[in-house]
Structure 1
Amino acid sequence: MIGDYGISPHYQHAAAYETARRSNPTRWSRSTRCWRQPEEMWINKPTEEPDPILALALIQIA
């Protein structure tokens, strides 16, 4: 989505943050925030390999 001036919100946030940092650098003891979003995010990431106990239970049920 494009903002008011044809600039995406990502660039607006990054520019505002950098401007504030340059105007008063003593307020920041570390680097500024990384505004990039992660490519994927999981609350409970599925396991790569099936759980052997669960697989055994499913075999016994069948």
Structure 2
Amino acid sequence: MQGSYKDKEGEEFWEEIHEVSTNFTLFLIFLHIVGVTMSSRLHNENLVKSMVTGKKNLNN
């Protein structure tokens, strides 16, 4: 029987799992960006520039 209640219930379950995992991943990305920003400021380094160029300024 196509379109039964059980099919819709299972589909909604997997959609909810997908939404939660997506939101959690976005949260982790946000935390990572905040961590890089804080670390760059605490150590007076430009970590983003270092990642792009592959060179780090060693003036310490």
TM-score above 0.5: no
Decide which structure has the larger Cα Rg and report it.
1
How would you bin the TM-score normalised by the shorter chain? Answer: 0.3 to 0.5
- Which structure has more helix as a fraction of its residues? 2
Larger relative contact order, structure 1 or 2 (CA cutoff 8 Å, min sep 6): 1
